[in-house]
Structure 1
Amino acid sequence: MHIPLRIYVRLLRTYLAHQRTHVRLLAFLLFLTIGLQLLNPRVLQLFLDGAVHKAPLSILSLLGLLFLLVGLASQGLSVLATYLSESVAWRATNSLREDLAEHCLQLDMPFHNAHSPGEMISRLDGDVTSLANFFSQFVIRVLGNLLLLLGILLMLCFVDWRLGLGLALYTLLALFILQRTRNLAIAHSLAHKEQQAQLYGYLEERLSCLEDISSLGATTSILQGFYERMRSWLRTIQFLGLFDGLKVGVTSLALVGGTFLALGLGAYLFGLRWSSTGTLVMLFYYTQLLQAPLLELLDQLRNLQDASASITRVNALFTSTPQVHDGNVAQFPTGPLSLALSDVSFAYEMGKPVLRDITFSLPGGSVLGLLGRTGSGKTSIARLLLRLYDPQSGNIHLSGSDTIPLNLRSLRLHTLRGSIALVTQDIQLFHASLRDNLTFFDPHIPDERLLYALRETNLSEWYQSLPAGLDTLLHGNTGLSAGEAQLLTLARVFLRDPSLVILDEASSRLDLASERRLEEALDRVLVGRTVIIIAHRLATLRRADYLVILENGHIREQGARQHLQQCPDSYFTHLLHTGMEEVLA
């Protein structure tokens, strides 16, 4: 699998640009370490030759001390370089992770429906973490070790040109072998990461519904699916290990060949008395030192193989684009919103329409009751109003008390979604403090406003029972009744002060007492706002001014609730007489 060089360069330039000083210091430390590594064998040669020729003890002592100091300095610089490289790596990967998470949050629902949360965690965390070495050390270490190889060969040429030439040929052969094995296992590494992400996604989805799985006796089938994914992943890991082992084996053979070559040349020259004992030891030292950069290059190429698979997956996320495009109008209409849908048709999948030619309007400050069987398109209308999806045809317009109608597509998404609140029957609470659950981690909302929202939503008594007030840690929905969790969601709505509130079966899971508390809170929270109520209970529709009844994606009936209720031939009257819950179930 070939990845264009510009992809690597662009990533390095983007995420190391703000760390130029640290990168330069890291390069300096690594190159200084290389210089010290080249110096020590030469010091050892001088020491041994001096000892053989009975040099003064003071000179030998100085050479021994220099050898020791150079070794200590080399180790100390390596520690500093490691610390600095980790700092550079984590700064770069955290920045990449932040950009990638922000990009994924801007993608729309079709993308997130196609990728499970477990898969996204694997890609946002695992793939980005795999790039840590690539950001911090790859380029510097590859260049540094190539320079170390060149330095060793030059030092050997300085000692004897035949030694330098022989080991230069060996080095070129070893580098050729490394280059040939570079892309050997990238495809299997990519498959390994893909299957790992699929496994995490499978586990995340099953663990989130563990109670249902246990109660329905589906444990055996879930485990079978787990084993099938593990078996597929195991085969990929085995192939990956096979190729890795092949590369290591080939490289090891090349290194052994280099050692035999160096020792053979050294013995030949020593036999001809063209080299000294110190030179022979230095040659062996340099030969062993020559193996280190080759092994380091192999390690870096292995890391590059892993990084290449991660870069492919990260780049695939960055190139994913939303189907819903942002508008350019930032000024949102003030006051209660009026809305109008004109000939709106929509399908999640081409050829399977969910809504067909939907046309209705709602004055600002009014309450619309949206009725219909399951699958009739009620929730789809709510998603279109939030622009989680865009219709394939037709238009939706919004207007305030003093503005002309604006096409929904022309509005900035952040502004639109900040002015429309959706309350569903599925409550999502974080493992975080009550304050953070109410504010969505916005630290700028004062506590007084939070307490006022809790009072307005009938949660004062519950709040007073908490051990740490707003700092009380909530464990998701655990420990809360369905009514308390729904009222907390309503408190979020109150804090946002939206112009349009959509209640999508918000009370369908509540008992009568909890529903009564919710209705009392709604009486206060919904004042002065435009409201859409998606429901099938008659009690929930008592506040509706207008009704729209959907059937198979079409509007079956619409009009003022009082008029439809008083008209004996209306479909709504038929629902009232036959029992609306049974007909719309």
Structure 2
Amino acid sequence: YHNAHTPGELIERADGDVATLARFFSRFVVSVLGNGALILGVLLLLVFVDWRVGLGLGVFVLIALVVMLRIRATATPLWAAERQASADFYGFLGDYLAGLEDVRSSGAGAFVLRRCAELMRSWLQITRRAGMRGYALVASSHGLFALGTVAAFALSAMLFRTGALTLGTVYLIFRYTDMLRQPTEQIRNEVQDLQQADASIGRIEALLATAPRLRDGPGGAVPPGRLTVELDHVSFAYGEHGAVLHDVSVRIAPGRVLGVVGRTGSGKTTLTRLLPRFYDPSAGAVRLGGVDLRDVTLQAVRSRIGLVTQDVHLFNASVRDNLTLFDPTVPDAQVREVLETLGLGDWLAELPHGLDTVIGAGGVGLSAGQTQVLACARIFLRDPDVIILDEASSRLDPATERLVHTALERLLAGRTGIIVAHRLDTVAFADDILVLENGCVREYGPRHKLASDPDSHFAALLRVAAEEVLL
């Protein structure tokens, strides 16, 4: 779901639609009930003065309310389209801001501005159509009120001529009729806001009705201690697209490390996303400690697995909060110890406020290597039983990579691990090697055995990598 909708679109739906409802309901009840009571009181006074005049104006008020509600019903789909256009625009804006450097470096600024203008033009057209329905509501209420006033005067004049009403009573009816104008207009304004609120309610209901793709299992327990990881005839496809993994079967014994290599698009990253149960396989089963992941809760699975990817997200928060992920129970001494282990002790000492130093969103001011090392520090603090490193050192310079490799070796000691890498020197910690090709298992076995077999695909990859180094 999150891959199918941009972050900006989701923010606009969660914030913009909710804000529209908040503004509406903050005054709707008081305004409608108060003005409704005023209208009812005026009509009762008119009935007391003369039941025929009161009944006539009561009918006109009822007709006006029915007309306004019918216009509201026809305007709601247009306002729903306006809210979607707003979400599309903010989704585009979020994507542009996230890729601002790429846009500037590639000279795509003109395209972005043109696309922005197209979205705003479309948004304006939809808003104009929706607004015209609102103006129709205003025109109809004014027209009906004018007709009601004319009818009240005509009826009062007839009764005056017959002597049933005095001139003072006619003026009183005029004043009471005029008193109906303000509450009627305020109720009309609330009905206009109800058009937008109704559209927002529909979008929020659709969001709340979206069923999670992954559901917690019945609550089985993952056994404590070191864990086996097993993929049993696993196949997987993203939606209606072709299968990314085909009948993959792998078993990683407790404490062993699996290195996963293969060309780009071979399914390496997808395989690692099945283990924390970001997705469920289309066929087959993924087991942790012999337990099918679908039989336990998501929290129970993810608390035992640590994942470090090449794309690290850092929050606009302190160093401490970025490393502990806002967990106040983690002691500062433990955080400092981890940073010392990873060789960032000097870096921490140079910070103006130590662990309280604020890191900008996305790691502003940090090198790619420092960002990656901080991601590794998060895993140290969590101390999971299974470690997944997805191109975790691909952004590091050689000196920093050697430092992190030393720390990762200590982290992987005694734990089950999976290392995904393009650079084959990264899988030096691996006990076993899995070679994927087009989503299928091309080769699987102990690393030393495959490396020593000149006919193995892994040995061929090592020779190619060695030739590249020599060049």
Query: Which TM-score band (shorter chain)?
Result: over 0.9
Cα offsets for 1:268-311 (capped at 9, x unmatched): 66677766776555434422321222222212221221111111
Distance 1:329 1:294, change over 3 A: same
Partner letter of residue 437 of structure 1?
A: N
User: How far apart are 1:441 and its partner, in Å?
Assistant: 2.0
1:193-208 correspondence runs (5 A): 193-208=83-98
Give the CA deviation at 1:517: 2.1
| 1:570 matched to 2:456 | yes
Q: 1:297 aligns with which of 172, 187, 194?
A: 187
How much has 1:134 moved relative to structure 2? 4.5
Partner of 1:386: 276
Please give the alpha-carbon distance, in whole angstroms, between the structure 1 residues aligned to 2:62 and 2:249. 74
Cα contact 2:137–2:192 (8 A) shared by 1: no
**Structure 1 range deviating more: 126-135 or 532-541:** 126-135
Instruction: Report the CA distance between 1:192 and its aligned residue.
Output: 0.5
Q: Which amino acid aligns with 1:200?
A: Y
1:494 matched residue in structure 2: 380
1:3 matched residue in structure 2: none
Deviation track 1:508-541 (CA, whole Å, cap 9, x = no partner) reads 1111122122112213333322111101223211
Distance 1:432 1:531 in 2: 30
Identity %, equivalent residues: 47
Give, as a single letter, the amino acid of the residue that structure 1 aligns with 2:190: Q
TM-superposed CA distance for 1:411, in Å, is 1.5
Distance 2:84 2:340 in 1: 49
Does 2:357 match 1:472?
Answer: yes
Write out per-residue CA displacement over residues 367-391 of structure 1, whole angstroms, 9 at most, x where no aligned residue: 1110000000100110111111111
Q: Say if 1:172 and 1:396 are closer, same or farther in 2 by CA, change over 3 A.
A: closer
Alpha-carbon displacement from aligned partner over 1:473-496 (angstroms, at most 9, x marks no partner): 111211001111111111111111
Q: Residue 273 and residue 228 in structure 1: after superposition, are their counterparts in 2 closer, same or farther (change >3 A)?
A: same
In structure 1, stretches of 5+ residues that fail to align are: 1-110, 400-404
Partner of residue 519 from structure 1, selected from 398, 405, 424: 405
1:227-306 to 2 correspondences below 5 Å: 227-263=117-153, 279=169, 282-306=172-196
Indicate how the Cα distance of structure 1 residues 582 and 141 shifts in structure 2: closer, same or farther if over 3 A, else same: farther
Query: Could you say what secondary structure the match of 1:283 adopts?
Result: helix
Q: Which moved more, 1:356-365 or 1:266-275?
A: 266-275
Q: Is 2:95 the partner of 1:179?
A: no
Secondary structure in structure 2 of the residue aligned to 1:287: helix
Larger RCO (CA under 8 A, 6+ residues apart) = 2
Aligned-partner residue type, residue 407 of structure 1:
D
Shift of the 278–435 alpha-carbon distance from structure 1 to 2, 3 Å rule, reads farther
Which of 385, 393, 396 is the aligned partner of 1:507? 393
Shift of 1:409: 1.2
Deviations 1:396-421 (A, max 9, x none): 2121xxxxx11121121011112111
Q: Residue 311 of structure 2 aligns with which residue?
A: 426
CA pair 205-351 structure 1, distance change in 2 beyond 3 A: closer
- Please provide the CA RMSD for this pair: 2.2
TM-score (norm 1): 0.76
Q: Are the counterparts in 2 of residues 456 and 525 from structure 1 also a CA contact under 8 Å?
A: no
2:48 is aligned, of 155, 158, 181, to 158
Return the offset for 1:143: 4.2
1:353 aligns with one of 238, 243, 253 = 243
Q: Give the gaps of 5 or more residues in structure 2.
A: none
User: Matches of 1:553 and 1:398 in 2, distance apart?
Assistant: 21
Q: Answer whether contact 1:483 1:518 (CA < 8 A) is retained.
A: no
* Aligned equivalent of 1:213: 103
SS for the counterpart of 1:503 is strand
Distance 2:46 2:323 in 1: 70
Measure, in 2, the Cα distance between the counterparts of 1:350 and 1:482: 36
Letter in 1 for 2:340: R
- Contact 2:424 2:465 (8 Å CA) reproduced: no
In structure 2, the partner of 1:457 is 342
- Structure with greater helix share of residues: 1
Which residue of the other structure, out of 403, 416, 424, is the alignment partner of 1:538?
Answer: 424
SS in structure 1 of the partner of residue 351 of structure 2: coil
Amino acid at match of 2:308: V
Q: 2:369 aligns to what? A: 483
Cα deviation 1:114-141 (Å, max 9, x = unaligned) = 1000000000001111111454443554
Residue 234 of structure 2 aligns to which amino acid in structure 1?
V
Structure 1 CA distance for aligned equivalents of residues 143 and 466 of structure 2: 80
Question: How far off its partner does 1:195 sit?
Answer: 1.0
Aligned to 2:9: 119
Instruction: Answer with 492-501 or 165-174: which moved more.
Output: 165-174
**Structure 1 residue 265: deviation in Å?**
5.1
1:331 counterpart SS class: coil
